[in-house]
Amino acid sequence: MSVKIGILTSSRADYSIYYPLIKALNLLPNSSIEIIAFGTHLSEDYGYTVNQILSDGFDVSHRINNCYAIGDSPSDIANAMGNTMLEFSRFWESNHFDLVFCLGDRYEMFAAVAASVPFQVKIAHLYGGEKTEGAIDDCLRHALSLMSKYHFAACEAYKNRVIELTSNADNVFNFGHLSIDNLERLPLLSIEELQTKIGVDFALPTILCTFHPETVNYESNALYALEICDAFSELNDFQILITMPNSDTGGAIIRSSFETLAKNNAHIFTTENLGTIGYLSAMKHCKMMVGNTSSGFVEASYFPTTVINLGERQTGRIITPNIFNTTISKQEIVDAVKNNSNNTYENTKIQIYGIGNTADLICNELQNNIFKSRYSHD
Q: Give dist(CA 6, CA 97) in Å, integer.
A: 7
CATH superfamily label, 191-339: Glycogen Phosphorylase B; (3.40.50.2000)
Residue 314: band (very low, low, confident or very high) from pLDDT cuts 50, 70, 90:
very high
Sequence-ordered list of residues with C-beta below 8 angstroms from that of 119, at least 6 positions apart, any chain: 92, 93
List, edge to edge, every strand of the sheet that includes 3-9.
Answer: 62-63, 31-37, 3-9, 99-103, 123-126, 150-153, 172-174
The SS3 assignment for 231 reads helix
Q: By C-alpha distance, which of 39, 41, 106 is closest to 67?
A: 39
Q: Which of 23-37, 189-203, 206-220, 284-298 has the lowest mean pLDDT?
A: 206-220
Residues 6+ apart with CB under 8 A from 168: none
pLDDT of residue 37: 98
What residue ranges of the chain are covered by domains with CATH 3.40.50.2000? 3-177+354-375, 191-339
What are the distances in angstroms from CA 281 to CA 208, 275, 345?
11, 10, 18
Split at pLDDT 50, 70, 90, the class of 304 is: very high
Q: Which residues contact 346 (CB under 8 A, 6 or more apart)?
A: none
Of the two residues 24 and 138, the one the predictor is more confident about is 24
Number of C-beta neighbours around residue 350 at 10 A: 16
Tell whether the model's pLDDT for residue 1 goes beyond 80.
no
* Per-residue pLDDT tens over the stretch 321-365: 999 999 999 999 999 999 999 999 987 889 999 999 999 999 999
Which segment of 99-108, 134-143, 233-242 scores lowest on mean pLDDT? 134-143
Percent of the chain predicted with pLDDT > 70:
99
Q: For domain 3-177+354-375, give the fold.
A: Rossmann fold (3.40.50)
Each residue's pLDDT tens digit, 60-115: 999 999 999 988 888 999 999 999 999 999 999 999 999 999 999 999 999 999 99
Instruction: Note whether 3 and 99 are within 8 A (CB).
Output: yes
Asked if 104 contacts 84 with a C-beta cutoff of 8 angstroms, the reply is no
pLDDT at residue 217, as a whole number: 77
- Using one digit for the tens of pLDDT, what is the confidence trace for 243-278? 998 777 778 899 999 999 999 999 999 998 898 999
Contact 106, 285 (CB under 8 A): no
Give the β-pairing of 307-310 and 323-326.
parallel
pLDDT(378) > 50: no
Mean pLDDT, rounded, for 190-215: 95
pLDDT of residue 349: 85
Confidence of residue 376 (pLDDT cuts 50, 70, 90): low
CA distance 149 to 8: 15
| Residues 97 and 3: beta-carbon distance below 8 Å | no
* Whether the predicted pLDDT of 377 surpasses 60: no
Read off the amino acid at residue 125. Answer: H
Do 9 and 53 meet the contact criterion of CB atoms below 8 Å apart? yes
